[in-house]
Structure 1
């Protein structure tokens, strides 16, 4: 383990923690609004940084670079295509949420359907976080840290015990961070780390190209462009990790769900001080998605030229960082990826306690006719976070046995929970007489059939196409049920806004600019330009 890299890592990590502590030292964390929503007072830069870096975790650093190395740049579509979905959420869904003054996305489903739907969806969210989202963040963080600092070699222990050790270290540090700092500490950390990621996104490809060119960046670029140009292609074919057609089917639905319904993402935007600040923050996060391939994809592209064979392709990113970077840059990148794992894990933990305490625990106490004070809610939320953290740390190491790579595994499993929830949300918004029974039947049908298609029956279709087909079938099923048992009165949204709802005046201009940048990147990484 290089001492210089370790010192650099510790310096950056401590600096981020100190900045977060300083910015949140006067926050009141003894109320639900303070702990879960930063007292709904976040500005657009903090909202944007929080949205972007909560989305970016070690999962992306590891998983996307691995898929670029083993396949091509088609995996870039996950991040780039989400820009369009984010802008749609900013324009059409976020005003609905802020107008309702909701605390969680299931709150809106309760308003639109009934309490049973809210509880059903809350449980789905919790299961998704415990078995998929939180463990995958811990595992990818452990893989990155071990690859950068060669922990298993330094401690002279096997790979499997090392992953267990690092998963538990990250999990315990992350849980303490969330419990002591609340959502605002997470948001401040995300903003600082976002700046660091931008710097790393310039420095790492520069160092890698210089290493590839034996001291010359220009030579490195020439060598990169001289061979294996098929890896540059972001227009995925049917056999690629992300076929281009899936962008317009299941991927579009997953992105709409993620940015418009996923609790740990939406919670960041709900903490903004106004609709305009929320929309500006989403635009900032979109800009981050445009530049993110610098760290999430380009290193994997360069690794294709550096390594002809790797036994464990999940270690592509940490290997190229440790091989091409100075000790200071290695420590800096390690701090960014470690911070990415922590902040996403922290945001997920914060959201699990939000969902449990506000949607399950407090209603249960009210049903028992027992009063619950703010202090008791905070105490229960912190104990629940520790329980969830423990379960996630136990599950995380077993992801090492996942087939088809880490990133594909995560997206496949998340489809079990994501698109079904978005489906009933969308139908509920568009069909004012859709009854609650239709939402419940739709959820059960979608989850069951998707599980069968992925676990028991080989459909021969990409899982994203399966999601799109099931989306259409579920909508049709809900329409049939809605025609048979329509609501007596059409749904009318109640206004309960707690922030200013004046929209951002310049949002349409920036929407056009961001969409043009998104399209331009797809063109550059296509047979028209680089992938000749």
Structure 2
């Protein structure tokens, strides 16, 4: 892809890098020498604004921006439902999960699982989480970032190495505090850059009516989707990609795992000064998660409209290039640099979060287990070393990842969470509400769910690559034909049954051991008092339903 970067665009991007590194250096100075709480949990004194912005920025990586905008260009709006449903799940994080996490004082999610169940459950989640981060999260972030690098004319290898090393540098330097403060700034840059793309694109098409008219004219060409398909979140239950039943009942299971039990995300709430700030941060992130529909998905639709008018050029089969193409070939001087800085901000914030959460897991769940008397200073040093190793592994993984991404594995890496998340979500959710659920039931549910999920993942990959021949009408064909969101729901229910059934043959922990990790009558004593948090929660739910109604057959789609 050719680039038309100006001096001012390059200057804005370089200024962005300078600001981020300066903020990271400033944040790292605030760390107490050798304090594990400061390095891994940012001192546990962060306010709601920082927590919420970091939750949003950590989640919004380049792969999500390019993937959601690509979905917009392909008239695949149901994908945007993952962003909207996240707002509801963040309510669950703030009201249900956060009080337990902060009350127990844990550093990691596997550590909480040990307090609730056993060390075997802790080890399971630690290993699965670290492998998932290195093989999927980091790989996807770097691969999606390659499109950003190419947009500004920087070769893949050069751009990947610069960004990975720069991100790794400030993550090693300042730990979680440097990560969340740079996240806050990067969230602002990301929002400003993508909003600029949306506003400028709409203006070029002659406003919203101009966009709709362009889509309606394009729909008259055979093979092009109807205009209303671009603005419909809902598809019939028989849809092979995103049925409404899968979205309403399967996607929330993925959300519970990702937003409520995954170290990558939850670590930000653990840095909050108290439960109130953690909850407000989660709610703030919930409001921010409503924006991707307008600043990621709509720009993809705009790019499609500009393609139909012949004003930009990209291949619809690779629609993930829609947004970078629009930025490179369409935005004026200055805005282009700002928009690219926004994409780089998304890339670096997600990458730093992956590095930091992985190093925290390696330090607290492995190193500290083998050296329980290790000082805070040694824990911090090991965490820094673990981050450096992760940076090196990431750089070494790039050539393998790049060759694999050329085939169909990109899809499988995206859908892998549907196959590993249900057992984890079941164990966390039911463990909070039912004291009789025990460690025996939890570990059996985790491993049986994992085996079924990986079996589906591997057989699906082999079948699609032609390695495995599947005859129509066989049990294996039915197993593979189940939509991945429906499969997540079925797997969740299966794990719940196993969890409950096996737990009946074991003994639960004592009430004293479960006092901090399960709901108790004393936890909910007294009448519920209406608060500002409750008002914000209700408003967030209302906004979600308004969006669902707006982008439905009875809303804009009509």
Q: Give your verdict on TM over 0.5.
A: yes
1:133-186 C-alpha deviation (Å, 9 max, x unpaired) = 11111111122221x2133xxxxxxxxxx4344322221111112001211111
1:349-382 C-alpha deviation (Å, 9 max, x unpaired) = 111111111111111124xxxx422222222222
Against the structure 1 CA distance between its residues 180 and 482, is the aligned structure 2 distance closer, same or farther, given a 3 Å change threshold?
A: same
User: 2:161, 2:535 → 1: CA distance?
Assistant: 46
Q: Which residue does the alignment assign to 1:287? A: 287
After superposing on structure 2, the runs of 4+ consecutive aligned residues of structure 1 that deviate more than 6 Å are 501-504
Q: Which residue does the alignment assign to 2:16? A: 12
Q: Which has the higher contact order (CA 8 A, sep 6+)?
A: 1
Match of 1:326, SS state, is: coil
Shift in Å at residue 80 of structure 1? 0.3
Q: Which residue does the alignment assign to 1:236? A: 235
Q: Which residue does the alignment assign to 1:452? A: 455
Against the structure 1 CA distance between its residues 484 and 139, is the aligned structure 2 distance closer, same or farther, given a 3 Å change threshold?
A: same
After superposing the two structures, state which structure 1 stretch, 110-119 or 167-176, moved more: 167-176
Q: Which residue does the alignment assign to 2:442? A: 439
Q: 1:173 aligns with which of 155, 163, 166?
A: 166
Shift in Å at residue 240 of structure 1? 6.2
User: 1:23, 1:235 → 2: CA distance?
Assistant: 44
Does residue 93 in structure 1 map to residue 97 in structure 2?
yes
User: 2:332, 2:365 → 1: CA distance?
Assistant: 49
Q: 2:336 aligns with which of 330, 336, 354?
A: 330
Match of 2:504, SS state, is: helix
Q: 2:346 aligns with which of 340, 343, 365?
A: 340
User: 1:235, 1:483 → 2: CA distance?
Assistant: 40
Q: 1:473 aligns with which of 465, 485, 494?
A: 494
Q: Which residue does the alignment assign to 2:106? A: 102
Aligned residues: 509
2:61·2:347 contact (CA, 8 Å) conserved in 1?
yes
Shift in Å at residue 468 of structure 1? 0.8
User: 1:440, 1:285 → 2: CA distance?
Assistant: 32
Q: 1:373 aligns with which of 369, 372, 375?
A: 375
User: 1:374, 1:101 → 2: CA distance?
Assistant: 16
Shift in Å at residue 471 of structure 1? 0.9
Does residue 400 in structure 1 map to residue 405 in structure 2?
yes
Q: Which residue does the alignment assign to 2:185? A: 192
Against the structure 1 CA distance between its residues 488 and 194, is the aligned structure 2 distance closer, same or farther, given a 3 Å change threshold?
A: closer
Match of 2:46, SS state, is: coil
Q: Which residue does the alignment assign to 2:520? A: none
Against the structure 1 CA distance between its residues 37 and 293, is the aligned structure 2 distance closer, same or farther, given a 3 Å change threshold?
A: same
What is the root-mean-square deviation of aligned Cα atoms in Å?
2.4
1:113·1:436 contact (CA, 8 Å) conserved in 2?
yes
Q: Which residue does the alignment assign to 2:433? A: 430
2:422·2:491 contact (CA, 8 Å) conserved in 1?
no
Q: Which residue does the alignment assign to 1:301? A: 301
Shift in Å at residue 508 of structure 1? 1.2
Q: Which residue does the alignment assign to 2:465? A: none
2:187·2:346 contact (CA, 8 Å) conserved in 1?
no
1:277·1:504 contact (CA, 8 Å) conserved in 2?
no
Against the structure 1 CA distance between its residues 437 and 332, is the aligned structure 2 distance closer, same or farther, given a 3 Å change threshold?
A: same
Shift in Å at residue 493 of structure 1? 3.1
1:71·1:240 contact (CA, 8 Å) conserved in 2?
no
Against the structure 1 CA distance between its residues 307 and 380, is the aligned structure 2 distance closer, same or farther, given a 3 Å change threshold?
A: same
1:74·1:240 contact (CA, 8 Å) conserved in 2?
no
Against the structure 1 CA distance between its residues 349 and 44, is the aligned structure 2 distance closer, same or farther, given a 3 Å change threshold?
A: same
After superposing the two structures, state which structure 1 stretch, 306-315 or 124-133, moved more: 306-315
1:167·1:397 contact (CA, 8 Å) conserved in 2?
no
1:182-226 C-alpha deviation (Å, 9 max, x unpaired) = 11111111111222233223311121123334xx77645643566
Does residue 388 in structure 1 map to residue 381 in structure 2?
no
1:77·1:242 contact (CA, 8 Å) conserved in 2?
no
User: 1:511, 1:234 → 2: CA distance?
Assistant: 23
User: 1:529, 1:264 → 2: CA distance?
Assistant: 36
Against the structure 1 CA distance between its residues 299 and 409, is the aligned structure 2 distance closer, same or farther, given a 3 Å change threshold?
A: farther
Shift in Å at residue 27 of structure 1? 2.6
Against the structure 1 CA distance between its residues 526 and 362, is the aligned structure 2 distance closer, same or farther, given a 3 Å change threshold?
A: same
1:29·1:182 contact (CA, 8 Å) conserved in 2?
no
Which residues of structure 2 form unaligned runs of 5+? Answer: 220-226, 309-314, 460-475, 518-522
Does residue 133 in structure 1 map to residue 105 in structure 2?
no
Does residue 45 in structure 1 map to residue 49 in structure 2?
yes
User: 1:224, 1:467 → 2: CA distance?
Assistant: 34
1:235·1:243 contact (CA, 8 Å) conserved in 2?
yes
Q: Which residue does the alignment assign to 1:417? A: 420
1:395-416 C-alpha deviation (Å, 9 max, x unpaired) = 5424522538x5x544311233
1:453-510 C-alpha deviation (Å, 9 max, x unpaired) = 23224421111111110111111112221112232645743459xxxx9999311111
User: 1:235, 1:171 → 2: CA distance?
Assistant: 38
Match of 1:519, SS state, is: helix
Q: Which residue does the alignment assign to 2:123? A: 119
Against the structure 1 CA distance between its residues 19 and 174, is the aligned structure 2 distance closer, same or farther, given a 3 Å change threshold?
A: closer
1:87-133 C-alpha deviation (Å, 9 max, x unpaired) = 01211111111111111111111111111211121111111111111
User: 1:513, 1:488 → 2: CA distance?
Assistant: 39
Match of 2:321, SS state, is: helix
Shift in Å at residue 11 of structure 1? 1.8
Q: Which residue does the alignment assign to 1:154? A: none
Q: Which residue does the alignment assign to 1:521? A: 547
After superposing the two structures, state which structure 1 stretch, 204-213 or 340-349, moved more: 204-213
Which residues of structure 1 form unaligned runs of 5+? Answer: 152-161
User: 2:33, 2:9 → 1: CA distance?
Assistant: 35
Q: Which residue does the alignment assign to 1:319? A: 325
Shift in Å at residue 246 of structure 1? 1.4
Q: Which residue does the alignment assign to 2:505? A: 484
User: 1:409, 1:295 → 2: CA distance?
Assistant: 26
